[in-house]
Every structure is written in structure tokens, then in C-alpha cells.
Amino acid sequence: MSWKRCGTPAATKIAFLLNGANRALAESDEKEARDAARALGVNLLVLDASGQSEIDAAFEILIREQADALMTNSESLFMVQSKRLATLTARHQYV
């Protein structure tokens, strides 16, 4: 996972979507994300989704919390749901 400011230099709050059902990967990636966010001086909003309805619910939360950007971990769920994620991201203008 690469955390750089080049894609969203003005972001102050980043939503990070992970699949808590894959606990080992989720815990490792969440720790890395929190460390990176702290180093970059941004707030991190960690959201858990293990299916399409939870992805939809996560988007409602990141909209309500006014996240500036969205990242996911490398969980296969998000590859399978990539079209849904792209649609939601475009609809709500996230990067």
C-alpha cells in the first residue's frame, strides 16, 4: 500500500475501507494506514465492509463525515466490487 500526497495534496481526512472479515490483513493494513496518516498529518476514517451492502453503508458514512478521499486495502473483496466502488466514487466525486 502506498501513501503519498501526490493524488490528493489538499486532503485532510481520508477514508480507509477495509474488510474486517480478513482480520490478519485488516489489522496489518490498518496499522500501516494509521502510521502513514499520522506521518502525513491527515485524519483517517477507518471503515469496515465485508459485502456490497456494507460498502454502500460505508459510503454514507464517508459522505456524512466529509472525507476528502477514499482508499481501500488490497482485499480481494474490493477487486470483486471494483465496479461498485468506481460507481460510488464517481457519483460522490471522490479520488
Residue 87 has pLDDT above 60, yes or no: yes
- In whole angstroms, give the CA distance from residue 17 to residue 34: 12
pLDDT attached to residue 43: 94
Q: Which pTM was predicted?
A: 0.82
Residue 10 has pLDDT above 50, yes or no: yes
Question: pLDDT, tens digit, for every residue of 35-66?
Answer: 989 998 999 999 999 988 999 999 999 999 99
Reported residue count of the chain is: 95
Residue 41 DSSP SS3: coil
Name which of 23, 38, 22 is nearest 77 in CA terms.
22
Segment holding 58, helix H or strand E? helix 52-64
